[in-house]
Structure 1
Amino acid sequence: MRKFLLAGLLLITAYQVEAQTTSPLTARLDKVSLTFAVGADGHPTYAVSFGSKTVIKPSRLGLSFADGRGFDGPLVLTGSETKSVDETWQPVWGEVKTIRNHYQQLTVHLRQPDANGRRLDVVFRVFADGVGFRYEFPRQAGLQYFTVQDEHTEFNLPANHKSFWIPGDYDSNEYAYTTSRLSEVNTTPIKAIELKAPANRIQTPLMLKSDDGLYINIHEAALVNYPAMMLNVDTQTFCLSSQLVPDGTGTGAKAYLQAPEHTPWRTIVVSDKAPDMLASKLILNLNEPSKLPDTNWIKPQKFVGVWWEMQVGKSSWNYSDSSNIRLAGTDWSKLKPNGRHGATTANVKRYIDFAAAHHIPGVLVEGWNVGWEDWVGNWKEDVFDFVTPYPDFDVQELQRYAASKGVNIIMHHETSGSATNYERRQDAAYRFMNEHGYISVKTGYVGRIIPRGEHHDGQWMVNHYVRTAQNTADHRIMVDMHEAVRPTGLHRTYPNWLACESARGNEFNAFAEGSAPEHETILPFTRYMGGPMDYTPGIFKLQGYAAADPKRQMHSTLAKQLALYVTLYSPLQMAADLPENYEQHLDAFQFIEDVPVDWDDTRILAAEPGDYITTVRKAKGRDEWYLGSITDEQARKQPVKLDFLTPGQRYEAIIYADGKGADWQTNPAAYRISRQVVTSRSSLSLQLAPGGGAAVSFKPVAK
């Protein structure tokens, strides 16, 4: 016993000497600085500042493993190295033509203080607008297969910041944002969708604003082979601690890994200017370059579709109202149609005609395939096969008709949450798409996940989304995923992954209490920090569209619906309303027809989370600019200098503005369209109605 005690004392003494003689390590770029240290107790910490202001106070780092020997301390610092990177790259599509990737990197090497101590690296990248860091597990004899039980990353905030948050639900992101102080975070009063969280657990991206003028966003980048990170808020100390989404075993396990491996990046974006937050490319830069050898087939696009009519109760996804339907063994031709089915050959042709007439490349069709009668409320494995159409959907005829009109049909794959069934059938489904000219697919994961017990945001499903992105790419198919984990910049690595839903979209105005007018002014600072969203803007019938509730209305003016095509970025933008509603306002629809979905430049002219955003973008390969300006429930006058225009060039500005007396509650459809010739020396004054907005196109005038 004395021998073991002596050995232990010598080990502790050696560890204390090493820890005490290690100075803090720093990295800095412009105003952002990072400090790393190992305390006397062996716990590693980091801190972040912006100029003289504290962003993150010393905060804990570490992980716990299922074997009880994780890296949660004590640890010994064995070395470090730094490097500087300054490069540029061009995205396949995006908000800008070229992106600068400039950072200072600090890598610290840690080990457990025993003779065969396991090793851990923490890599920090310091950008001019924030910090990213991740844990890396080198190849080593003492660490091969391991299970992460918990991650102990903290974000120790210096004060009771204003925050914009949604509950930390493991299975849904579709919540309205709450604006409160951190001390007031409480998810209990919120009507849950699939909520499995205590009252103090919230999601990322989390947007914060300090009383001394800092804007801070906390999220993650490159989420692969790991569960999503939620945040537990200490409402007394304002320390945020990571909470990983558990797996389906019930053991509390979070991630199953094999060294060498690494976690996703934890990201902290910071600035003293709100527009700079929206311009940040930090999260995108922390993702790997494209894995696809050829990307010429990837085409951002606008689309219309058989979708909104189901949301508002005009038609149905299901062909029949019969019960006891089975995927196999049902003779669908003998079932009695309900007369409300939306995805009929004739109706799809109507959308194709509208798209072709207005230069819209795509038509989404939901409810085309058998199985919808056997889904809702049933936690069932085999609901859809993704290749069998309903009797009134003629695949060959619609393929021919769409091609003759120069339009592509967008496939829809609702999985009913059965990811295992979808994975088994993906190859057949994608070959079916290739054979019939479908170049893009919208996937859905509504419902409880199968494998049973897994969560939408857990490791298994995170890997499923990545596998789906790769599988669609292998078949040269673009993908838009709904009900997926919120994005973390992986569209750089898989540029065929055009968009996700993963938030409360425009559809909630149709079948729920809707979203407050401030919702679209918060989303770019939160959900959009990780990547584009399929928000489905462009609703023109703003009142009286919901058969189930005639009093329901959009929380927006018509002009704001136009502005969203600019302020809410996506390479995949839906003109979501019905053709007949657009045909009543073709003068306003012209903006939707004109506005691009791919850009060479983006400028955030004015922004404040929860209040207003004004954004201008330059069309890809053309000297055309498009502006969107939106506000919350407050009317605003937004001055705009046009110095982004090419000097010496005259432009025709077509201004789509809120009309006289416009108000999202009482007069949402009032709009006016005006034209004037402007130059880079001109300015505009946009009057935004309550819940309103303005959209402007700038096209060169021949000299």
Structure 2
Amino acid sequence: MTRAALAFAAALLASGPALAQTLRSPSNKLALNFRLSPEGEPLYQLSFGQKQVLKPSRLGVLLQGQPGFDKGLTVIKVDSAQADETWAPVWGEVKQIRNRYKELLVTLQQPGTEKRQMQVRFRLFDDGLGFRYEWPQHPNLQYFVVQQERTEFNLPANHKAFWIPGDYDSNEYAYQTTRLSEVNTLPITPIQLKAAPTTVQTPLMLKSDDGLYVNIHEAALVNYPAMMLNVDTKNYALGAQLVPTATGAAAYLQAPEHTPWRTVVVSNKATEVLASKLILNLNEPTKLQDVSWIKPQKFVGVWWEMHVNKASWNYSDTGNLKLASTDWNALKPNGRHGANTANVKRYIDFAAKHGIEGVLVEGWNVGWEDWHGNWKEEVFDFVTPYPDFDVQELQRYAVGKGVKLIMHHETSGSVTNYERRQDEALRFMKDHGYDAVKTGYVGRIIPRGEHHDGQWMVNHYNRTAEHMAKRQIMVDMHESVRPTGLHRTYPNWLASEAARGNEFNAWSEGNPPEHETILPFTRLMGGPMDYTPGVFQIKLESWNPERNKGRQVHTTLAKQLALYVTMYSPLQMVADLPEAYEQRLDAFQFIKDVPVDWDDTRVLLAEPGDYLTIARKAKGKDEWYLGAITDEQARNQQVKLDFLSPNTTYEATIYADGKGADWEKNPMVYQIRKQRVTSKSNLKLQLAAGGGTAISFKPAQR
């Protein structure tokens, strides 16, 4: 990296508070303008070529009990820098990432004798903007409380928006597609708590009428609450809304400190928004010296059978139990407990037979009889198995089959309890051969009054990832804050849920067919999602006709295959029951083949809410995999195969929707065909309503 700092004299800048600074991106695609208003308010604006991305928008931070950094400010120094480097992620969508930007660092000073300072650091890339607030060491600003931000994103028009409500405790909503002027969360049933009716979550995806795609999110969320956005439905202005702590303030800080980066990804092509690595580039490199133990993988699990009412998490149907005083061996088993030794062995056998690395087991530990909805402090101890779950025997059996068991830690929202017991729980894991864990945070948070997306919980998630890295444990977090690229810093943090996953099809109205075409433009902008694809038994009544009447997954079977490519994650669940796959081993072959780690990714076709086609190159192999999905509308696509290596003939195995396929009426019909192709070939894809196509490309055998 090369940095060239240029300092401007304070006397020069003091002559005019509105003196503007302009920064252009490395290839001049974007231009940033910064100035102070006559009232000393920091203002910035952003343009893409001749198109206005953001009109003049305010910046600033309000403090509790102290003068804020929002007006009456003067510029005392401006520095500039630039960088151009390439780095290799531990795992990811591409083998190498270029980090190229120009930077502007503006030092602002409050009026008065204390001369307290705040800096605004802008980094302008060819695909967008990142900026954050920084507080250097200063004798008159040491401990301080952020009450709220004045950060604005003032849009020039009434863009189309893809949004979910600004719920402080959940992101598990179906996306709404409206104009900004139509944002209103009141008709939507809240999952837990939410802010004002016009508050939405990030990442927020926007599209202008003249074809500009704008994505607003944040990067490197550390020691700070998540940022929601208040929508001014008349003026199309977005204002930062920080998730409050239990006291009502946003963040308790000590200088030197800085906020997360606020990010704006911009392009006139939807495909380039998905290809952006801006958020990753704004995160810190990992400090881990040894990353050889971090293994991207696929896994099956004792999980879906509970969602489809074929088994239960709880061992007994007795409720109101106390963790320390209950004789679990004396409880009457309900006969439906899924995490029993024999059943787990069945999953281990299936994984070993088909080359699947891991087996997740949920419901193995005591406490599930009385775990949800009671805001209870001590539910789980994370080390005591149910009487029918033999930890030692399953460890021995899994080792013999070459399969790794994956631990499950559901906290029931009682995070103070989990933090007290985490050391013992991780020792238990390592003693019994577990090196990956899925954590869960269902329910209201303890400490009471804190939110899933507030500063206290953000610190918990990051602390947990760091703690587990020291123990060489990989983690997949569910019900956590939405990711902001921290998997670069903590590469053992393989995935999160943090959105409405595939499971909602089993016990709600389900995810509409467009859902998976929106998620890559929203939730996945910040990092991988454990979406749990791969459901083959689309109609769920077959598992339990009485309790699953009318329920189904809202895709075709072929689309479930394509999701392994379009929904990026280094941790992909093979979500259905083994018997569902045993009946369709020909289609299951794609799941067995498709990698979870990649050398290259090409976003071929994309439009948020409509369709998505992506091709990826397997790590260390000359093999490509393609996934194409659509919403409720059937589509034909022409795909050029120019991403393939030239002068090589490949055998394409095409897993497509069958004749008459339809996500609702006929979802499980599919067809598989093979043909030889080269980089000069074109393929015509026919996607059924709610359907998709999955293709593997392997060098043809002579």
Query: 5+ unaligned residues in a row in structure 2: which ranges?
Result: 1-10
Please state if 1:350 is matched with 2:346. Answer: yes
Q: What is the TM-score with the length of structure 2 in the denominator? A: 0.97
Task: Tell me by how many angstroms 1:23 deviates.
Answer: 3.5
Q: The residue matched to 2:584 in structure 1 has which SS?
A: helix
CA contact (8 A) 2:605 2:612 kept: yes
Partner Cα separation in structure 2 for residue 289 and residue 141 of structure 1: 30
Q: Which residue of 2 aligns with 1:391?
A: 387
Partner Cα separation in structure 2 for residue 23 and residue 576 of structure 1: 54
Partner Cα separation in structure 2 for residue 361 and residue 665 of structure 1: 33
Pairs within 5 Å for 1:188-587: 188-249=186-247, 252-545=248-541, 547=544, 548-587=547-586
Q: Which residue of 2 aligns with 1:9?
A: none
Q: C-alpha offsets along residues 68-107 of structure 1, whole Å, 9 cap, x if unaligned?
A: 3110111000111111100000000000000000000100
Task: Tell me by how many angstroms 1:196 deviates.
Answer: 2.0
Partner Cα separation in structure 2 for residue 447 and residue 15 of structure 1: 56
Q: C-alpha offsets along residues 175-221 of structure 1, whole Å, 9 cap, x if unaligned?
A: 00000000000000012111322110000000000011100000000
Q: What is the TM-score with the length of structure 1 in the denominator? A: 0.97
Partner Cα separation in structure 1 for residue 209 and residue 379 of structure 2: 52
Q: Which residue of 2 aligns with 1:615?
A: 614
Task: Tell me by how many angstroms 1:239 deviates.
Answer: 0.4
Q: Which residue of 1 aligns with 2:5?
A: none
Partner Cα separation in structure 2 for residue 679 and residue 23 of structure 1: 53
Please state if 1:22 is matched with 2:15. Answer: no
CA contact (8 A) 2:18 2:37 kept: no
Partner Cα separation in structure 2 for residue 408 and residue 305 of structure 1: 11
CA contact (8 A) 1:662 1:689 kept: yes
Task: Tell me by how many angstroms 1:17 deviates.
Answer: 6.1
Q: The residue matched to 1:669 in structure 2 has which SS?
A: coil
Task: Tell me by how many angstroms 1:115 deviates.
Answer: 2.3
Letter in 2 for 1:515: N
Task: Tell me by how many angstroms 1:544 deviates.
Answer: 3.1
Partner Cα separation in structure 1 for residue 493 and residue 13 of structure 2: 49
| Cα 1:651–1:424 shift into 2, 3 Å | same
Q: The residue matched to 1:19 in structure 2 has which SS?
A: coil
CA contact (8 A) 2:18 2:35 kept: no
- Report percent identity of matched pairs: 71
Partner Cα separation in structure 2 for residue 16 and residue 85 of structure 1: 26
Q: C-alpha offsets along residues 385-426 of structure 1, whole Å, 9 cap, x if unaligned?
A: 101100000000000100111100000000000111111111
Letter in 2 for 1:361: E
Query: 5+ unaligned residues in a row in structure 1: which ranges?
Result: 1-13
| Cα 1:423–1:20 shift into 2, 3 Å | closer
Partner Cα separation in structure 2 for residue 16 and residue 690 of structure 1: 60
Q: Which residue of 2 aligns with 1:86?
A: 84
Partner Cα separation in structure 2 for residue 253 and residue 672 of structure 1: 57
CA contact (8 A) 2:13 2:19 kept: no
Letter in 2 for 1:211: D
Q: The residue matched to 1:305 in structure 2 has which SS?
A: strand
Task: Tell me by how many angstroms 1:160 deviates.
Answer: 0.2
Partner Cα separation in structure 2 for residue 433 and residue 544 of structure 1: 34
Q: Which residue of 2 aligns with 1:111?
A: 109
Q: The residue matched to 2:31 in structure 1 has which SS?
A: strand
Q: C-alpha offsets along residues 208-244 of structure 1, whole Å, 9 cap, x if unaligned?
A: 0001110000000000000000000000000000000
Q: C-alpha offsets along residues 665-685 of structure 1, whole Å, 9 cap, x if unaligned?
A: 100001000001111111110
Task: Tell me by how many angstroms 1:293 deviates.
Answer: 1.8
CA contact (8 A) 1:368 1:390 kept: yes
Partner Cα separation in structure 2 for residue 288 and residue 696 of structure 1: 35
CA contact (8 A) 1:222 1:287 kept: yes
Partner Cα separation in structure 1 for residue 371 and residue 250 of structure 2: 29
Q: The residue matched to 2:181 in structure 1 has which SS?
A: helix
Task: Tell me by how many angstroms 1:481 deviates.
Answer: 0.2
Q: The residue matched to 2:16 in structure 1 has which SS?
A: helix
Q: The residue matched to 2:15 in structure 1 has which SS?
A: helix
Greater shift after overlay, 65-74 or 94-103? 65-74
| Cα 1:20–1:498 shift into 2, 3 Å | closer
Task: Tell me by how many angstroms 1:245 deviates.
Answer: 0.2
Q: Which residue of 2 aligns with 1:6?
A: none
Partner Cα separation in structure 2 for residue 580 and residue 529 of structure 1: 34
Task: Tell me by how many angstroms 1:21 deviates.
Answer: 6.7
Task: Tell me by how many angstroms 1:323 deviates.
Answer: 2.3
CA contact (8 A) 1:248 1:452 kept: yes
Q: The residue matched to 1:621 in structure 2 has which SS?
A: coil
CA contact (8 A) 1:15 1:76 kept: no
Q: C-alpha offsets along residues 238-275 of structure 1, whole Å, 9 cap, x if unaligned?
A: 000000000012xx200000000000000000000000
Partner Cα separation in structure 2 for residue 413 and residue 671 of structure 1: 37
Letter in 2 for 1:423: E
Q: The residue matched to 1:510 in structure 2 has which SS?
A: helix
Q: The residue matched to 1:686 in structure 2 has which SS?
A: strand
CA contact (8 A) 1:19 1:42 kept: no
Q: Which residue of 1 aligns with 2:7?
A: none
Q: Which residue of 1 aligns with 2:144?
A: 146
Q: C-alpha offsets along residues 435-476 of structure 1, whole Å, 9 cap, x if unaligned?
A: 100010000000000000000000000000000001111110
Q: Which residue of 1 aligns with 2:8?
A: none
Partner Cα separation in structure 1 for residue 137 and residue 126 of structure 2: 32
